[in-house]
Amino acid sequence: MIPTGLSLTDCDGNCDGCSTFDLTQLDAQVLQGISGYRMIYHENQGDTNVNTIPSRYNNIALSVQTI
């Protein structure tokens, strides 16, 4: 079962509502020791198989963004 509720947070030092996140930080928690898979990220479910976002990601929604 894939865990839910995992999140990355950052203190927004310049108060612009944006931060850069390394999305791979949670890969091990999501995969839970399962091998043979690679993680890819999308802004929404409709973008599956297209428009993958890089693992170093700058959020585009101010303050909170779900990936």
| Structural domain boundaries in the chain | 24-58
Three-class SS state of 2: coil
Given this model, what pLDDT does residue 39 score?
A: 84
* Cβ–Cβ under 8 Å, residues 40 and 52: yes
pTM of the model: 0.57
Three-class SS state of 28: helix
pLDDT band at 54 (very low <50, low <70, confident <90, very high): low
Percent of the chain past pLDDT 90, that is, above it, reads 1
Q: Pull the structure tokens for residue 14.
A: 């310049």
Looking at the chain, how many residues does it have? 67
Distance between CA atoms of 63 and 9, rounded to whole angstroms? Answer: 10
